[in-house]
Amino acid sequence: MQAASSNWKPNLGGRLPAQIRRALPIYFGVILFIFFLSYGNAFTPSFEVAHVKKRSYSSQGVLSTGLAPRPSKGFPKKIWQTWKIDPLGFEERDLTCARTWTQKNPGHRYEVLTDNNDVYYVETHFGPEGINRSDIVEVYRSLTAKIIKADLLRYLVMYVEGGVYADIDVEALKPIDRFIPERYSAADIDMVIGVEIDQPEFAAHAILGPKSMSFCQWTFMCKPGLPVMLRLIKNITVWLENLSKKQGVPISDLKLDFDEVISGTGPSAFTTAVLAEMSIKTGQDVNWDTFHNIPESKVVGGVLVLTVEAFAAGQGHSDSGNHNARTALVKHRYHASKWPTAHPRYKHPVYDEVEKCNWEVDCVKMWDYNTALFEGLSEEEKQKLIIEKNQADMQKQAEDTELARKLEQYEAARLANEVANPAPAPLLQPAMQVPVEAFPSPQPQGFPAQVARGFPALQPVAAFPPAT
């Protein structure tokens, strides 16, 4: 290096004017600086720290010692949903739900991919102008099963752009800022997911087993370009192509039952892919044990896994608590979850769907016992039970219809009565509307008069016979 410079320095000196020679160190400095800027990525850590420090000094006058979030390493501030139509045409309940996201996250962009623009989106980003994966575009284009398209589309969007994905019937309870607990830095996390079903005691169950341990994919958050998303997408396309061969029909004509949807593209597929990725990242075999009954969120291989109540509170199983929990981030309203109609679950002709047990151990045991017993019966006995079951169903349906009719009649009579007597004395009159003069003598106990009137059962304590 020294030899080289001493070689050309005299040369230069011979040709360049003295002013330029004196300025050479400055040129060098400028070139070095430009080099540094262009290859900034290679120096990211020191560069970022310097940047953060400077900002902390100037904004607060003190050096913040905490790990400041690094914007370039954060999650894209974007919320994604997919639905038949765009939000300007949403019906009221979808609008109300969608607004919870925009209102709680004013700093985020919001976009809905629809049945009319989804293919264009996929072609743009996965076609030759995008990452050039025509295999993926082809599969997406030929899909007709709505739930499969919806599952796949969320993975495609999360791979391309990242941000938060939420199903159309999911309400935001907390701002997205709350997805990552304070003890973590967003820079260290690639993905935020939550537990949905945590019932490993059913792992060996023929029907429930494959669904008994899963992460939730009706809401999750990603940074763009995660290998796990692309692997999941790729696996789904291969699975669909396999199935197409097996059924001997094109992908557009595939027949899929409930369990195939769940394990092919739904939560089970998502969970398998995430666990596989965690294993790759950590070099260890990561399985569900790591997430069973977790008392707090944890990060494994760059994936932050939140406890079940974060995205799946109030399920009545998996110890999911309720939506009032501080850690409950969203509420799944399920009003758009009608897809099982098109992809039926296994339904026993007498004992119905085991899913109706909602993961209750005794109920599942009873279902298993009954269905096993049923298998041992003669065809004749089976038919007899099935007929009885159908009759019971019809009876129940008739009763339900009758009850609904009576309720309707009652309601009609009540309304008619209200019209005939425009000012009926309501049973529970709001306090503000009760004229004071209507109660000339306030009760000595201090009970509000209308309480004594509206709730006849409420008695002053003194009225109870003394305990003996």
Ligand X SMILES: *[C@@H]1O[C@H](CO)[C@@H](O)[C@H](O)[C@H]1NC(C)=O
Residues that bind ligand X (CB under 6 A): 128, 132, 134, 231-232, 235, 238-239, 242, 263-264, 269, 272-273, 276
Residue 391 to residues 353, 395, 397: CA-CA distances in angstroms? 18, 6, 10
Whole-number minimum distance, CB 237 to ligand X, in Å?
9
Whole-number minimum distance, CB 390 to ligand X, in Å?
36
| Residue ranges in 69-130 assigned as alpha helix (H) | 92-104, 118-126
Question: Residue 181 contacts by C-beta under 8 Å, 6 or more apart in sequence?
Answer: 297
Residue 152, class by beta-carbon neighbours within 10 Å (0-12 exposed, 13-18 middle, 19+ buried)? buried
Distance between CA atoms of residues 441 and 438, nearest Å? 9
In terms of CB distance, is 157 or 232 closer to ligand X? 232
Chain centroid to Cα 290, Å, comes to 20
Question: Residue 63 contacts by C-beta under 8 Å, 6 or more apart in sequence?
Answer: 53, 56, 57
In terms of CB distance, is 126 or 202 closer to ligand X? 126
Whole-number minimum distance, CB 188 to ligand X, in Å?
23
| Residue ranges in 293-360 assigned as alpha helix (H) | 308-312
Phi, psi for 79 (deg, rounded to 5): -110, 130
In terms of CB distance, is 48 or 138 closer to ligand X? 138
Distance between CA atoms of residues 17 and 20, nearest Å? 6
In terms of CB distance, is 134 or 445 closer to ligand X? 134
In terms of CB distance, is 264 or 301 closer to ligand X? 264
Whole-number minimum distance, CB 271 to ligand X, in Å?
9
Whole-number minimum distance, CB 129 to ligand X, in Å?
8
Distance between CA atoms of residues 78 and 189, nearest Å? 17
Amino acid identity, residue 230? L
In terms of CB distance, is 87 or 210 closer to ligand X? 210
Question: Using H for helix, E for strand and C for coil, what is the string for 200-219?
Answer: HHHCCCCCCHHHCEEECCCE
In terms of CB distance, is 137 or 168 closer to ligand X? 137
In terms of CB distance, is 132 or 284 closer to ligand X? 132
Whole-number minimum distance, CB 41 to ligand X, in Å?
24
Amino acid identity, residue 314? G
In terms of CB distance, is 134 or 459 closer to ligand X? 134
Determine contact, residues 160/124, Cβ cutoff 8 Å.
Answer: no
Strand, coil or helix: 424: coil
Whole-number minimum distance, CB 74 to ligand X, in Å?
27
Whole-number minimum distance, CB 295 to ligand X, in Å?
28
Residue 243 to residues 18, 43, 309, 429: CA-CA distances in angstroms? 78, 48, 35, 63
Whole-number minimum distance, CB 224 to ligand X, in Å?
20
Geometric angle at alpha carbon 432, from 427 and 438, rounded to 5°: 65
